[in-house]
Chains A and B, each alone.
Chain A
Amino acid sequence: MLDPVVWDVGYLLSASMFIIGIKRLSSPRTAPSGNRLGAQGMLLAVVITILKMQSEGIIGWELIVAGLAIGSIIGYIMATRVEMTGMPELVALFNGFGGAASALVGLSEALKRISDGVPDPGVELYATWTAIGLSALVGWITLSGSLMAMMKLKGGFYVPFSKKDDRGRNKWVSFPTWGPPWLNWVKAGLLLASIALIILTIQNPENKTYVYSLVATSTLLGILFVLPIGGADMPVVVSLLNSLSGIAAAFTGFVIGNNVLIIAGSMVGAAGLILTFIMCKAMNRELYDVLFKAFGGSGEKDQLTRTKVGSDPEEVAMVLDGAQKVIVVPGYGMAVSQSQHAVKEFADLMESYDCEVLYAIHPVAGRMPGHMNVLLAEANVPYEKLIEMDDINSEFPECDVALVIGANDTTNPAARTNEGPLAGMPILDVDKSSVVVIIKRSLSVGYAGVDNDLFYMDKTMMLFGDGKKMMNELNSAIKEL
């Protein structure tokens, strides 16, 4: 038998690969290699674990091979089948699985230890049971919270077997955002109850009831944690839950006494927290407000009192004729209507008439940072035409037409005032361009629930309709000119 230190050296190597992998992931040039390095580190850790178990003589191959095979197939299918628009939901779902796996490992270890005989009171009992309790608490919160976040990103669900409407779809139920101020006290109570349950499990390690109660309180805590947070803030929540799933893995590392879990888990936990703050900063929001001040869809929605006459594609095509510079402002509506290819076609058309076309990317456009970049890249838009907010805002005053596709809150001038839910959020200065064309299904408010003055400006032309349909009509109108 090999000296067991070989395995530890292997784990150390794999942990180093994770660290370098994360580092490389934070820069555009090195990101793909960083991701590969992380995957290789993971493969190394798995191979070492299997070799180590085999060298110790006993291995339940059936269970391990079956588990790895089933998981790989499901993961492969989900990762390759998903549409680019469904990416944020998928990340949330994977994250939930990770948290659940950590919690299940902790629970399984607890049950095994109970049936094998609980250690005598001492360092081992206290440390192991504290770790089991904490990995359960964090892991189950991650699972239920991530599933909630996934539903919120989807915005709702179709009720199966319900009466179909005229377009052949089932009844759509939108996912609720609900959180009266007293809910924070309920959450605090649940957290205290969970901590009390962890202490009880340490005092009565044989009693499984406390372990199962802890599962229940943590799951409920995760649900109530995400319930009051609006869909617009979901990226921050998913990022925070990602940080939590790392911490859960680290606690699981304490449970089974494995350093690679502790290193990788706590590092992801800390890096995830930093990323959460970076994302909050991009949205000009405080993390505390996001988590405890129920905003972004849950607040009062402005009642629409104004109307705006819609334009038609021919009229817009005439305005675009002879334009020197057009800035496209995509939002979640472009993702939903899958109109990125039509947008690219539009840009090609305009460029063939010697018009410069740029894309203004708001940091939180869509439902995840980078959402628009991914979609436009899919449609073969060159990377250097995607300009970030701080750089493009100075170009709006000299642009002839700003074409807004399914974006709302990120262009709302109300953010410049110091009142209302949008106060202080950085926005794209779309209103400074000579003409604004907005493709949107209606005048309805965005996630923040604030009416958008931009729609009612004299220089604004509204094209009411589905993003893809309107873009195609606009493209054919331009061709006919």
Chain B
Amino acid sequence: MYKGGTSQQSNQAGGYFVMSLTLTALIGSITVFVLAIFLGFELISKVPPTLHTPLMSGANAISGITIVGALILSNATFDGMDTSFAAILAFLALIMATINVVGGFMVTNRMLEMIAGKKRKGGK
């Protein structure tokens, strides 16, 4: 991610790019990690109980961002017909992450339609 800190090398075996990690890049990532945690702590303070479940469900769908990792790994481990155990695991990860993302956002939307949709209707 950090152009200044990482050098990209072509990996002969799979032909994909391996980041060779430097300390600078690692510290950069840890900085992002720590700041995002503080952001998360400050992000929500007052949530009406009605929204506890949709918020939990929506946040859960966002934690399905691991779908990006599953995509990258599926691509990197897939090697024609010769499927390794690593490729099978990556494929399973991709299915599960997709279920988490698609199902999570849809179910949250369904809940919110019932709660917030009715609110608009009741207000008239």
Given contacts A108-B73, A111-B86, A124-B21, contact A68 B94 (CB under 8 A): yes
Q: Can you name the residue of chain A whose Cβ is closest to the Cβ of B89?
A: A108
**B residues less than 8 Å from A257 (CB atoms):** 1, 6, 19, 21, 25, 29
- Complex Cα–Cα for A21 and B44 (A): 11
Which of A26, A49, A90, A238 is close to B51, meaning CB atoms less than 8 Å apart?
A26
Pick out which of these stretches binds chain B: A157-165, A271-279, A285-293, A303-311.
A271-279
**A residues less than 8 Å from B105 (CB atoms):** 35, 38-39, 42
- Complex Cα–Cα for A261 and B64 (A): 9
Interface residues in B21-45 by Cβ distance below 8 A to A read 21-23, 25-26, 29, 32-34, 36-41, 43-45
**A residues less than 8 Å from B90 (CB atoms):** 63, 104-105, 108
Given contacts A22-B43, A28-B119, A35-B105, contact A105 B66 (CB under 8 A): yes
Interface flag for A248 (CB, 8 Å) = yes
**B residues less than 8 Å from A274 (CB atoms):** 40-41, 43-45
Report the contact-size class of chain B (Cβ under 8 Å from the partner). 35 or more
**B residues less than 8 Å from A90 (CB atoms):** 103, 107
**B residues less than 8 Å from A265 (CB atoms):** 36, 63, 65-66
**B residues less than 8 Å from A238 (CB atoms):** 56
Q: Can you name the residue of chain A whose Cβ is closest to the Cβ of B85?
A: A111
- Complex Cα–Cα for A9 and B37 (A): 21
- Residue among B21, B96, B114 with the highest chain A CB neighbour number at 10 A: B96
- Complex Cα–Cα for A57 and B11 (A): 13
A42 engages B67 (CB within 8 Å): yes
B61 engages A39 (CB within 8 Å): yes
- Residue among A28, A105, A385 with the highest chain B CB neighbour number at 10 A: A105
Main secondary structure of the interface of A (DSSP, over half): helix
Given contacts A257-B6, A267-B39, A370-B51, contact A63 B60 (CB under 8 A): no
A63 engages B114 (CB within 8 Å): no
A101 engages B62 (CB within 8 Å): no
Contact indicator per residue, chain A 82-98, by CB within 8 Å of chain B (1) or not (0): 10100110110011011
B1 engages A46 (CB within 8 Å): no
- Complex Cα–Cα for A418 and B72 (A): 55
Interface flag for A123 (CB, 8 Å) = yes
A46 engages B99 (CB within 8 Å): no
Q: Can you name the residue of chain A whose Cβ is closest to the Cβ of B80?
A: A60
- Complex Cα–Cα for A124 and B73 (A): 18
Pick out which of these stretches binds chain B: A73-81, A317-325, A350-358, A439-447.
A73-81
- Complex Cα–Cα for A377 and B63 (A): 27
4 closest residue pairs by CB, A with B: A71-B98, A270-B40, A60-B78, A75-B103
11 residue pairs A–B, Cβ–Cβ below 8 Å: A35-B105, A71-B97, A87-B111, A91-B104, A101-B97, A111-B84, A112-B84, A246-B62, A257-B25, A265-B36, A383-B118
Besides A22-B59, A63-B74, A383-B118, 12 other CB < 8 A contacts? A25-B58, A42-B61, A63-B78, A71-B98, A88-B53, A101-B69, A105-B70, A105-B93, A265-B66, A267-B40, A271-B40, A377-B117
